[in-house]
Structure 1
Amino acid sequence: MATKKIFPTKSSASLTPWLGIAFIIILIDQLTKITITRTFALGEEKVITPFFNLVLAYNKGAAFSFLHDAGGWQRHLFTAIGIGAALFIIYLLKKHSGQRMFSWALTLVLGGAIGNVIDRVLYGHVVDFLDFHWDGIGHFAAFNIADAAICIGAALFIIDELRRVNK
């Protein structure tokens, strides 16, 4: 007698923890952005340490405000790129969910990409608020939790690849 599989297959079951982690990143990202936008006025700054401020900034472009003044079309382009990247990352996670470092990297990039896509869809810009600076050098571009997750994920990609090459 044939039986139906009631439980998910192994590949979809192993995808679940990674999607859960991505969801947590998205949640933290969105909660921090909501808190900042409700607490600060645009451009308002609060000094936290001699090298770190909180500041409310809007970024209509990509990393480091690339194309921020392009006229509005970039919102749709970066939204489409973010959605496309998220779909491709989910495919890769499903295919490679057993590779821990690679999956961590993918998950961090996924959570960050979706966090910023949500901003672009809801507000037309990405909310940034973390501002690091050094005397005499100036301010680093303001960023957010999603951006940090993407950067950490990219670093993990590099580490994972270097480990793979050295084997």
Structure 2
Amino acid sequence: PWLAPIVRVTYVTNTGVAFGLFQNLGNFFIIVPIVVIGLILFFHHQLPDGQRLMRLVLGLALGGATGNLIDRLRFGSVVDFIDCNFWPLREWPVFNLADTSIVTGVALLVLMLVWEERRERYKQQAAEGG
């Protein structure tokens, strides 16, 4: 009850992707997650030892994609239930934990790729004496 002014549980079915985007595209959102899950598993298997953060990031995306896929296969849609009602999220669509996991995983992946690219650029500049 004390979170009710900020976060509510609201039952919503969603045939689209995260946050209610791209509704009613049929089997597209069954096929794409299966391909994405396969790619995540492939890349995870290719990672060298010591890549714990990358494994975590891929695990977040994998867990979210799998959770939403299971909902789609069982119910024909994803069940969203987290309804935020605070600035700046007053008009934010209802979402679920799988969406949060996917978005967090993808955001961390982008940050890691940018970080690695900058690190390589600095390393190359140092090697060139610049």
Q: Same fold by TM (over 0.5)?
A: yes
Q: Which residue of structure 2 aligns with residue 75 of structure 1?
A: 26
User: Gaps (5+ residues) in structure 1?
Assistant: 1-45
Superposed, which structure 2 residues align to 1:49-60 within 5 Å?
A: 49-60=4-15
The within-5 A match list for 1:80-119 is 80-96=31-47, 98=49, 99-119=51-71
1:50-78 Cα shifts (integer Å, max 9, x gaps):
2211111100111232232x3xxx23110
Query: Aligned equivalents of 2:63 and 2:89: distance in 1?
Result: 31
Kindly indicate whether structure 1 or structure 2 has the higher relative contact order, using CA contacts under 8 Å at least 6 residues apart.
Answer: 2
Counterpart Cα distance in 2 of 1:62 and 1:81? 11
Q: Secondary structure at the match of 1:55?
A: strand
In 2, distance between residues paired with 1:123 and 1:134? 30
Q: State how far apart, in whole Å, the 2-side matches of 1:131 and 1:63 are.
A: 13
Alpha-carbon displacement from aligned partner over 1:100-150 (angstroms, at most 9, x marks no partner): 222211111011001000000000000000011236973311111111111
Gaps of 5+ in 2: 120-130
Corresponding residue of 2:123: none
Partner amino acid for 1:149? S
For the residues of structure 1 that align with 2:21 and 2:54, how far apart are their CA atoms?
Answer: 28
How far residue 48 of structure 1 moved from its aligned partner, in angstroms, is 2.9
Partner residue in 1 for 2:17: 62
Deviation, 1:166, is 2.6
Distance in 1 between residues matched to 2:91 and 2:12, nearest whole Å: 13
Read off the aligned partner of 2:106 and give its amino acid letter: A
CA distance 1:50–1:113, change in 2 (3 Å): same
Aligned-partner Cα distance in 2 for 1:111–1:50: 29
Are the structure 2 counterparts of residues 156 and 137 from structure 1 closer, same or farther at C-alpha, using a change threshold of 3 Å? closer
Root mean square deviation, CA, Å: 2.0
| Cα gap change, 1:152 to 1:84, in 2 (>3 Å) | same
State yes or no: 1:122 paired with 2:74: yes
How is 1:34-45 mapped onto 2 (pairs within 5 angstroms)?
none
Q: Provide the aligned length of Structure 1 versus Structure 2.
A: 118
Contact in 1 for aligned 2:11/2:79 (Cα 8 Å): yes
